[in-house]
Amino acid sequence: MNFTIGETLLFILVSAMVLLISSMLFKRAAGSLGLTKLNMISFIFYYNLILLSFVGSVIILLLDVYYNPVVEGVSLSSKIKVWVMVQYAMIAIPSGMLFTNLIWRQKSVRIKFNNYCSLPLIPYVTKKDILLRQILYLLSFVCLFTLVYVYYNIGYIPIIESFRVNNEITLFQMRTEISRSFPGNIYIKNVFGLKLIPILSFISLSYYKMTKSPIDLLWFVIMFIATFFMLTYDFSKSPFINFILGFIFFYVLTYGKIGKVKLIKYFTVIFFLLTLVFAIITKKHDLSYLFSYNSGIIGRLIISQISGLYQHIEIFPSAVDHIGFNSLSKIFTSDFSPRSGRIVLEIVSPSWVENDYGGVYNTLFIGEAWANFGILGVLISPIWVGFIIQNFYLFFINSKKTPVLLGVLIYYSYSSNITGGYNEYIYNPLLFIIAIILVFIILFSRTFRNKIKTQ
């Protein structure tokens, strides 16, 4: 134990106070923190911050954690710094969100959110959006072709192969070969496959909710199956589990809330799937290991995700200079640098890199902000991230409740990941391309709507 009982109680008391203040701020930003009214902002609070960051930072500070080699040997000062950073982020992120509310004069997000949830789905162009749906059918066909294109380049079905592999290392090697050595066009794969297929799944589901058309039901079923195979193309199974979370948001955003019993069933199924996936990947089935706080599925959630932040603190700038903007894109600099998560992996686990197992040490975005810009990045990034996310959230709950916009909102409600890095909140080309495609569809539909009105 590194601290006296009094010091330990003080850390716990401060953490509890920060959690209380943070929950109050997030409630004002989100409109509701009720689990039966789960939304984009409350999901970030509960999942990305509390579960994946806050709890782990307190446990690692106050307890001896031997599970993750990334944490072992980390200095006490680094543990305290990470704890302070997380506490700060818990307050600064919702502060950035509330600043956004102030700029746009949003007096009551709660009323806006409740009103949005109670609104019926409406078509965008004509009574049944026949023309717009036909455009989306065509886009879906392009995405299905992309799925075939991806699997053709891989040469086999990874989800089936993963059950045949008998150890975790071989699985990582195969996953690296697919993700880093994909012979096809990665932009086609990422945009029309990984991004648009899940979005179109929720758009098709929203249209079925509005029209009750058998064709739209078939459309949704096809896109749901396509989503499963697309999100598991590189042996990953957790992205599809995250996709399943989207149906909770769909239920809340279309019916106003989800019943407690139904919610418990959803989370039970999701946790079961996570545990099953973890057991399949690690090939370990001991229950004491699977559910230990510093190992297994629970350890992966509350310890592993935050563990990379400690190494970010120790490596930058003592071993590696701050990166600045050099890791954003090769377009902006001739002195391009790998992102901080990759640099940390190369230093902490060189054998992993030498054997080409792939991967990065992703953590809460504040880690990459520190690696890029130092203390200035730590101070500014949580406010900026909160500002960006809240703008996105306000745009949708103040827009018309059409199937296209609802589908996009559902997708980004569970995928606005703040534990994947900071660069995405400065420069996000994939989001930009998706926006262009959707704006083109909307402008195209508006043009035909005006022609229809003039006829």
What's residue 43's pLDDT?
Answer: 97
For residue 160, give the 3-state DSSP assignment.
Answer: helix
Q: Is the peptide bond before 338 cis (omega within 30 degrees of 0)?
A: no
Contact between 39 and 252 (Cβ < 8 Å)? yes
- Please give the average per-residue pLDDT across 55-80, as a whole number: 80
**pLDDT number for residue 455:** 39
Can you state the angle between helices 109-118 and 5-30, rounded to 10 degrees? 60
Distance of CA 394 to the CA centre of its chain: 18
Q: At what angle do helices 366-373 and 340-348 cross, to 10 degrees?
A: 90
* Res. 383 pLDDT band, cuts 50 70 90: very high
- By the 10 Å C-beta count (0-12 exposed, 13-18 middle, 19+ buried), 150 is classed as buried
pLDDT of residue 320: 95
Statement: residue 118 has pLDDT above 90: yes
pLDDT of residue 292: 65
Neighbours of 342 (CB within 10 A): 17
Output 324 or 69, whichever has higher pLDDT.
324
Dmax (CA) of the chain: 80
Integer angstrom CA distances of residue 31 from 34, 94, 98, 99, 101: 9, 12, 11, 15, 11
Asked if residue 445 lies in contact with residue 131, where contact means CB atoms within 8 angstroms, the answer is yes
| Mean residue pLDDT across the chain | 88
- Average pLDDT on 208-217 reads 95
User: Which of 50-64, 103-117, 244-258, 434-448 bottoms out in mean pLDDT, i.e. has the lowest?
Assistant: 434-448
Q: Look at residues 205, 410, 432, 446 and name the one whose alpha carbon lies nearest to residue 329.
A: 432
